[in-house]
A and B are shown apart, each in its own frame.
Chain A
Amino acid sequence: MNEMSAGLRDLRIALVGNPNCGKTALFNTLTGSRQRVANYPGVTVERKEGGFLTPAGRRVRILDLPGTYSLRARSPDEVVTRDVVLGQQAGVEPPELLVCVADATNLRLALRLVLELKRAGRPMLVALNMFDIARHREIEVDAGRLSAELGLPVVTTVAVRRGGTAALLEAIDAQASPEPGTAVWEAPDAAGLRALQREADRILAAVVRVPDRRDAVTRRLDAVLLHPVAGLVILLVVLFLMFQAVFAWAQPAMDLIDGGFQALGAAVGALLPEEGAAGLLRSFLQDGLIAGVGSVLVFLPQILVLFLFILLLEDFGYMARAAFLMDRIMGGAGLHGRAFIPLLSSFACAIPGIMSTRVIDSRRDRLATILVAPLMTCSARIPVYTLIIGAFVPDRPVGEGAWSWVGLQGLVMFGLYAAGILSALGMSFVFKRLLWRGQPTEPFMLELPDYKLPRLRNLALGLWQRAKAFLRRAGTIILSMMVVIWFLSSVPRPPEGADRPAIEYSLAYGIGQAVEPLLRPIGFNWQIGVALIPGMAAREVAVASLGTVYAVQDAEEDAAQLGQALAGKWSLATALAFLAWYVFAPQCVATLSVIRRETGGRRWMWFSFAYMLTLAYLAAFATFQAARALGAG
């Protein structure tokens, strides 16, 4: 530490800017892995904060604010941006310096925001981001003239390149520790907005020379990707490839994890005796802890592949196109076109999906999306689906020749995903008609950004954050539920010389027996009843629970061979009913608690729980009875 830095406090900076201006890439480059993702108190808007050291040794705390076109906030995300900028956000000290990030290739809307922010009176500097792309497209921006016109420091940045932030860091160092002062701002009316945009357009004409307005690559790609027919076909193919990849790519890593945990379990098993108190510990470590954690962790590769696709499409700029293509179809179901992105994220996990509904301005449209988001097939269902499909659906191609690359198992999986999507669309249609009769959907307005090559660094950082979140969940909720289920299914221990399987002496047996009459019409046995209860913690826990229940019940069987065990013990009708149940069942406490938080009360949480439970029961009932009638009983 040199003396200069010792004398200075941490400088508080906030990044603001339009959506798609490369703000988050800039944030990632500045902070590297020194960042923290949390929530603002009271709201579930993601608070991304990080720190870095300037070349002069000054410590900076930086906040990445949600993208916005205006301080006239319309969604909860944009409210946070406004309140932080104006110093009204609870729990956040007012920023001492705003860095307004502007896409140098698309300055028009950014300049209007800069002018609006400037009126709010906070110390500010402008970062002309993606300056390399602008130069490549021969868009000439006179940064010096812009600085003079705006009366603000202007620097150029290339967020994705090493050294691309040097000018910004220098400008931050050049700032004396500014006083945040008080920011004043009043929502502009239409005339005010016109005046601001006119002023922005005047400055733009003075400082920017654009020989070719549109990005040639984007134009050519959009001609195909936004084609009314070809675009929709390509979207379907992309989604289908995504699900095939989730299966094919993840397999080797899954086998490795699976093998590792089996070896670990065997090693621990060999160290401890089977009898007495040590036997209980052995059972806990081997059947409860190791098998339980292993059966959940094994799905990490699939979750990462899915997130990889979502992050790639997002960074590439395709997500907004998907929303455009899907708008009419979603609109037919009473959903907003913007609901497409939250619903697509829900394929990974309903929690980020529900949280990302904050981009939908209207409360009704947002609520409709939140209610149906858990119906999208989240990655936690993958373990359940894979297990049952692996055990009951033969692993062979659908057909010969041209069809030989399509696996039957993959096709069934696709069908389950389709069932989730169709039921989500159907339910939102019903909700719109029943709950909000005749209330129109808010207008769909969305900027389609230019396509950009995704950057490895941003992908890696995004994947790492997702993996961390999953591991944290696996390490806390899921692990503790595994311990509970092991306890229920292993205590009390069977007496000496017991002639029945051990589990029939346990607490779980009693619970399973108690709920079994309710589950009989849908083809579930008491083992499933036992597995469903801890499965409430998270869907994938049901797999681990089934593993525990069956492994403990019959020590001869290896928990990892659960599939074969189920194939021998369940009828096909039961297996299909189980799949149908999982398409709908509200089997996730975390999702329910997020719904409660996001909707601001228990009412909608209980509503979603009740409607999904009813759907799950009816679907499993219909599936089981139909399958039995067709001879699969």
Chain B
Amino acid sequence: MSFVTDAVLADPAQAEAVLDLGAAPRGFRGRIRGLRAFASGGLPAEELERRLLELGFVEGAEVELLHQGLFGRDPIAIRVDSATIALRRREAAAVLVEPAP
């Protein structure tokens, strides 16, 4: 359940600071506020959410956008705590982050 997300989005003051990781520029550092999964690449929303969770995209984790590809700045390499995960911006959009202060 993405209860954190719902809370984040319900509060306009907080929602303003939150952006999706798919839109983040290279060098972005922040913290995961929630997941807002959607059906993508033939996967139902619930499955995408679980796959992201299994790779460590969990609320509270620190992220940094380390690298991006040449074409369409895609895919991207994200540092999630102690691991580096490569994924496409399309799926990264399911991860809501707030910038580090």
Which residues of chain A have a CB within 8 Å of any CB of chain B?
69-70, 72, 74, 105-109, 112, 188-191, 193-194, 197-198, 201, 210, 213-214, 222, 226-229, 232, 320, 323-325, 327-329, 337, 362, 364, 439-449
Contacts and interface: CB of A to CB of B under 8 A. Distances in A.
B70 A448 contact: no
A446 B86 contact: yes
A572 B82 CA distance: 58
3 residue pairs, one from A and one from B, having the closest CB atoms: A228-B70, A328-B71, A193-B53
Contact of B50 (A189, A226, A320, A439): A189
Interface of B: 1-2, 35, 40-43, 46, 48-56, 58-61, 66-72, 74-75, 77, 79-88, 90-91
A445 B69 contact: no
Given A193-B53, A443-B43, A448 B82 contact: no
B41 A442 contact: yes
Contacts of A194: 53, 58-59
Max count, chain B CB within 10 A of own CB: residue among A108, A112, A329, A449: A108
Contacts of A112: 54, 56
Given A445-B85, A445-B91, A190 B75 contact: no
Given A108-B81, A108-B82, A444 B87 contact: yes
Chain B interface mostly helix, strand, loop or mixed? Answer: mixed
Nearest to B48: A443
Nearest to B81: A108
A193 B1 CA distance: 10
Given A190-B50, A328-B75, A442 B88 contact: no
19 contacts: A70-B54, A190-B2, A190-B53, A193-B50, A226-B67, A327-B69, A328-B72, A337-B86, A442-B43, A443-B41, A443-B51, A444-B86, A444-B88, A445-B51, A445-B87, A446-B85, A447-B84, A448-B77, A449-B84
B74 to A, nearest CB: 6
A69 B55 contact: yes
B86 A445 contact: yes
A108 B56 CA distance: 8
B53 A324 contact: no
Given A198-B58, A201-B61, A448-B86, 6 more contacts: A105-B82, A228-B67, A327-B74, A443-B41, A447-B55, A448-B85
Nearest to A332: B71
Contacts of A324: 67, 69, 75, 77, 86
Residue among A74, A190, A229, A441 with most chain B CB within 10 A: A190
Contacts of B85: 445-448
A443 B87 CA distance: 7
Nearest to B40: A443
A329 B56 CA distance: 27
Nearest to B71: A328
Contacts of A323: 86
Contacts of B53: 190, 193-194, 197
Contacts of B72: 328
B83 A327 contact: no
A200 B71 CA distance: 36
Given A72-B54, A328-B74, A222 B66 contact: yes
